[in-house]
Amino acid sequence: MRKKIRVMISILMLCLMCSVTVSARAGGGGGSSSGGGGSSHSSTGHSGSTGSRVENIAGFLMQWILIGVSAGGGTFLLLQKAKKARRKSRQAMAFFAQMGDNWDAKEIQKQVEEAYFQIQECWRRMDITYGAPYLSEELQMEFNSKIQWMKVKNEEVIQRNVRLLSAMPVCVQDEPGEEQDVLWYLIHGKMTGYYIDSTSRQVIRGNTKPEAFFEYWKFVYRNKRWVLREIRQQNEMDIDAFENTQSNIKKLKGR
């Protein structure tokens, strides 16, 4: 009986480690897997050995501790890199502001934070017109297509306690013509978000518990304001891949 329980715990842990959840946040963003592939287990000695049971339980606990430490360490490292990128991005904004009026850092931050909540609400309402002022035309079409498909499947979005923990610029690109300017933000948010069947009111996918997440939001400049063009999940991009804007600014200043 105890052996069966250990096997069940092992299977449950593996499922939790490799699971992928789809949260009801804007764009249908989903959580990434929490790590590593499958693992194999072999038993030695007598199944009734008390020492073996203690060792197995200790092993399970150590696995969870390592997973928690790894996840926490990854978050800390990401935030440290993001703070460094934010500093360089703001320096770039200050320089670009001398040449164009769309690079005011305080105004950009205000627009991004406002866009975050309005776009989440747009997704919750499943009404593209609500979020239109904050979305590029391309993303409006993409969102609307997803929303219409959800309606066909009788899906309804549930969001609760939507929070924005931080929003940091991590890359800026100033190109000839304001329409070509690009701004990337690392969004750190938290909410309870899932989907239900609009008829039965049963949960069909997503996480019914609060979930924190990181996403990369790409903004472009349209009609005198910054609007969202793309959302990428944390595991889809590497913050180290963004260009070193500080070195680019030094080159520009040296001209």
* DSSP per-residue string spanning 51-64: HHHHHHHHHHHHHH
135, pLDDT greater than 90: yes
pLDDT at 3 (0 to 100): 55
Euclidean distance between CA atoms 212 and 163, whole angstroms: 9
Q: What is the mean pLDDT of residues 59-79?
A: 59
Q: What is the mean pLDDT of residues 215-224?
A: 96
Helix or strand or coil: residue 21?
A: coil
Q: For residue 4, count CB atoms less than 10 angstroms from its CB and return exposed for 0-12, middle for 13-18, buried for 19 or more.
A: exposed
pLDDT at 243 (0 to 100): 65
CB 240 within 8 A of CB 84: no
Q: In terms of pLDDT, which residue wins out, 132 or 10?
A: 132
Claim: this prediction has a pTM higher than 0.85: no
pLDDT at 45 (0 to 100): 41
Least confident of 47-51, 117-121, 183-187, 216-220: 47-51
Label residue 146 by pLDDT band (50, 70, 90).
Answer: very high
The maximal CA–CA distance of the chain, rounded, in angstroms, is: 77
**Average pLDDT of every residue of the chain:** 80
Q: Tokens standing for 87?
A: 């500093």
Q: Considering the chain, what percentage of its residues have pLDDT values greater than 90?
A: 61
119 C-beta neighbours (distance < 10 Å), count:
24
Q: What is the CATH number of domain 85-253?
A: 3.10.450.240
Question: With b meaning 16 or more CB within 10 Å and e meaning fewer, what string describes 28-54?
Answer: bbbbeeeeeeeeeeeeeeeeeeeebee
18, pLDDT greater than 50: no
Label residue 48 by pLDDT band (50, 70, 90).
Answer: low
72, pLDDT greater than 90: no
